[in-house]
């Protein structure tokens, strides 16, 4: 049996995303205003005057307004958490500010404290070789809520984002404001690796780190040799180091 879709069915469905809901709502408001201004009936408006009263310029203005309000980021900020909800649950015993949280990779390369106070806390696959190593503050990005927080308040200075989503969709809205990136998954050819290369942001993919906590001052060896596709194919280990620096 074929079920016909009624108006009640159509308008009771949830929108695909916040941006769809915002766009449709703006269109409905525009139609209401134009209908009130004409003073005519609905049928005449739809079949006679709508193309004259609502044109491409009005629709383009709605789109510009939605973009300026940040709605273009809704989908990318939420999709990772929707597709992989378990990966973005708060870690046990860790507060909303992620104080005390750290990735604890079983294969992290950890070394003794060096003479200058640096302590190696892991390695990763370097995406691009830069002229100097990068020093910044580790900040974990593990939820869409934090991305939206950074969108509203700005990404803190010196942020080296530590994330586990190699697709890059979660952090896309704020990616260009990071000083550097450590990603616990993927390869240099993953989406996030490609994005950071295009933005000129030092990045280590497949980062195996341990003991780096939210707010720690760290150094990334982005002067190391980048890992190539041939290295992956031949299972050649080519890594760059990550250090935790002594507190001032």
Judgement on whether residues 57 and 161 belong to the same structural domain of the protein: no
Segment 6-27, tens digit of pLDDT = 555 555 566 666 677 777 888 8
Q: According to the model, what pLDDT value does residue 208 have?
A: 93
Judgement on whether residues 14 and 110 belong to the same structural domain of the protein: no
Per-residue pLDDT at 179 exceeds 90? yes
Average of per-residue pLDDT across 152-166: 91
Alpha helices by DSSP H, listed for the chain, are: 7-12, 18-38, 42-44, 50-53, 56-68, 74-83, 144-153, 191-199, 229-233
Segment 23-59, tens digit of pLDDT = 788 888 888 888 788 776 777 777 766 667 787 888 8
Would 216 be classed as within a structural domain?
yes
Judgement on whether residues 93 and 60 belong to the same structural domain of the protein: no
C-alpha 65/C-alpha 86 separation (Å) is 34
Segment 181-215, tens digit of pLDDT = 999 888 999 989 999 999 999 999 999 999 999 99
- The pLDDT > 70 percentage for the chain reads 77
Segment 122-147, tens digit of pLDDT = 999 999 999 999 999 999 998 788 88
Judgement on whether residues 127 and 169 belong to the same structural domain of the protein: yes
Model confidence band, residue 95 (pLDDT cutoffs 50, 70, 90): low
Contact between 187 and 204 (Cβ < 8 Å): no
- Angle at 31 (CA atoms; ends 29, 32), nearest 5 degrees: 65
Judgement on whether residues 169 and 89 belong to the same structural domain of the protein: yes
Counting the structural domains of the chain, the total is 2
**Phi, psi at 30, each rounded to 5°:** -65, -45
Residue 203, CA distances (Å) to 7, 45, 151, 210 in order:
50, 56, 21, 17
Q: Where does residue 195 fall: left (phi above 0), alpha (psi -120 to 50 degrees), or beta otherwise?
A: alpha
Contact between 192 and 181 (Cβ < 8 Å): yes
Judgement on whether residues 42 and 16 belong to the same structural domain of the protein: yes
Judgement on whether residues 193 and 219 belong to the same structural domain of the protein: yes
Predicted TM-score of the model (pTM): 0.68
Poorest-pLDDT segment among 48-62, 69-83, 93-107? 69-83
Contact between 214 and 90 (Cβ < 8 Å): no
Which CATH number fits the domain that encloses residue 91? 3.50.30.10
Judgement on whether residues 185 and 156 belong to the same structural domain of the protein: yes
Judgement on whether residues 56 and 140 belong to the same structural domain of the protein: no
Judgement on whether residues 157 and 112 belong to the same structural domain of the protein: yes
Q: Which residue range(s) make up the domain with 20?
A: 7-69
């Amino acid at each position: 049996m074929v079920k016909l879709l009624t108006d009640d069915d159509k308008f009771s469905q949830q929108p695909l995303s916040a941006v769809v809901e915002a766009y449709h709502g703006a269109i409905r408001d525009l139609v209401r205003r134009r209908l009130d201004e004409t003073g005519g009936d609905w049928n005449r408006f739809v079949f006679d005057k709508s193309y004259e009263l609502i044109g491409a310029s009005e629709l383009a203005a709605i789109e510009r307004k939605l973009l300026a309000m940040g709605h273009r980021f809704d989908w990318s900020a939420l999709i990772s958490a929707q597709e992989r909800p378990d990966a973005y649950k708060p870690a046990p015993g860790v507060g909303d500010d992620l104080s005390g949280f750290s990735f604890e990779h079983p294969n992290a390369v950890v070394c003794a404290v060096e003479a200058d106070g640096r302590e190696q806390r892991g390695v990763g696959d370097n995406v691009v070789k830069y002229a100097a190593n990068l020093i910044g503050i580790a900040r974990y990005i593990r939820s869409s809520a934090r991305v939206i927080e950074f969108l509203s308040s700005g990404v803190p200075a010196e942020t080296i984002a530590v994330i586990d989503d190699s697709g890059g969709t979660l952090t896309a809205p704020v990616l260009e404001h990071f000083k550097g990136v450590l990603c616990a998954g993927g390869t240099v050819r993953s989406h996030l690796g490609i994005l950071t290369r295009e933005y000129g942001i030092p990045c280590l993919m497949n980062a195996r780190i341990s003991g780096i906590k939210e707010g720690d001052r760290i150094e990334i060896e982005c002067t190391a040799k980048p890992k190539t596709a041939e290295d992956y194919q031949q299972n050649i280990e080519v890594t760059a180091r990550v250090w935790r620096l002594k507190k001032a």
